[in-house]
Amino acid sequence: MIPRQATIERKSKETHIKASLNIDGRGDRCDIRTGIAFLDHMIELFAFHGLFDLKLEVIKSDTAIDIHHTNEDIGIVLGKVFKQALADKAGIRRFGCAGAPMEATVARCVLDISGRGYFKFNIENDKLVNNGEKQEYSLNYLEHFMESFAHNLGATLCITLQNGSDDVHTNVEAVFKALGLALDQATQVDPRREGIVPSTKGIID
C-alpha cells in the first residue's frame, strides 16, 4: 500500500504549527507538544485509539492572551494533515461511527469524509456548555476545535455527549477517544473497494 503520510506547516500572525502524520501507524509513536498540557493529553488519546502516528508541535502561539487561537489553529492543522494524507481517498471506508464511555458519560462521533465540512455538537445537558469557564479547557473550546477540524478535513462530523459530567476532563476525553475510534474506521481501506473513490460522483474533494 502507498504510505498514507503527510506533513503540514502553518504559519499565521497568531500561531506557527507543524504536524506530521502516518495514518497507518500504531498510535504509540506520538509526540504532541502544543504548549497546552490538557490538549496534549487529549490529542495523544485520540491518536493512540485511532492508531495514528502523529507528531504535532506548536512552535509559536499567543497563549499569553488565552488559548483561543492556538486551540482553533491546532484543529485546522490536524484537519489539513489528515486531508493531505488521505489524498484522493481511494478505497477508504469513508464513514465512521463510534462511542466511548467515561463512567456514566458517553460520547458518540459519527463522521463522513465527504469533502464537505460540517460540524454539529449535540449536548444533552446544555447547562454543561459553559461549565469549565474557570478551567484550562471548556466545551466551547472543544466545539471550536472540532469545527475547525471537520471543516479542514472536509468531513461531516456529528458529536453527541450523553450524560455529560460536571468534570470537563471526563467530557472532553470521551469525545477525543470516540473521534479517534470513528476516524480510524472511516480512514481504513476496504479491500473490496481498493483503488475506487467511495462516492457515486467518482471524486471526493
Binding site for Mn ion (CB under 5 A): 173
Q: Give 40 or 57: the residue with its C-beta nearer to Mn ion.
A: 40
Instruction: Give the residue from 181, 190, 162 showing the smallest Cα distance to 97.
Output: 181
Q: Give 36 or 153: the residue with its C-beta nearer to Mn ion.
A: 36
- Rounded to whole angstroms, the Cα distance separating 121 from 110 reads 11
Q: Give 8 or 168: the residue with its C-beta nearer to Mn ion.
A: 168
Q: How far is the CB of 41 from Mn ion (least distance, A)?
A: 6
Q: How far is the CB of 103 from Mn ion (least distance, A)?
A: 12
The residues that bridge with 32 in the sheet, in sequence order, are 56
Task: Return the residue nearest Mn ion (CB atom).
Answer: 173
Q: How far is the CB of 102 from Mn ion (least distance, A)?
A: 8
- Rounded to whole angstroms, the Cα distance separating 111 from 95 reads 6
Q: How far is the CB of 173 from Mn ion (least distance, A)?
A: 5
The set of cell numbers assigned to 78 is 490536524
- Cα dihedral 139, 141, 146, 149, rounded to 10, equals -170
Q: Give 53 or 173: the residue with its C-beta nearer to Mn ion.
A: 173
Instruction: Give the residue from 92, 77, 81 showing the smallest Cα distance to 15.
Output: 77
Q: Give 147 or 173: the residue with its C-beta nearer to Mn ion.
A: 173
Q: How far is the CB of 86 from Mn ion (least distance, A)?
A: 28
Cβ atoms of residues 97 and 182 within 8 Å: yes
- Rounded to whole angstroms, the Cα distance separating 181 from 50 reads 5
- Rounded to whole angstroms, the Cα distance separating 105 from 95 reads 23
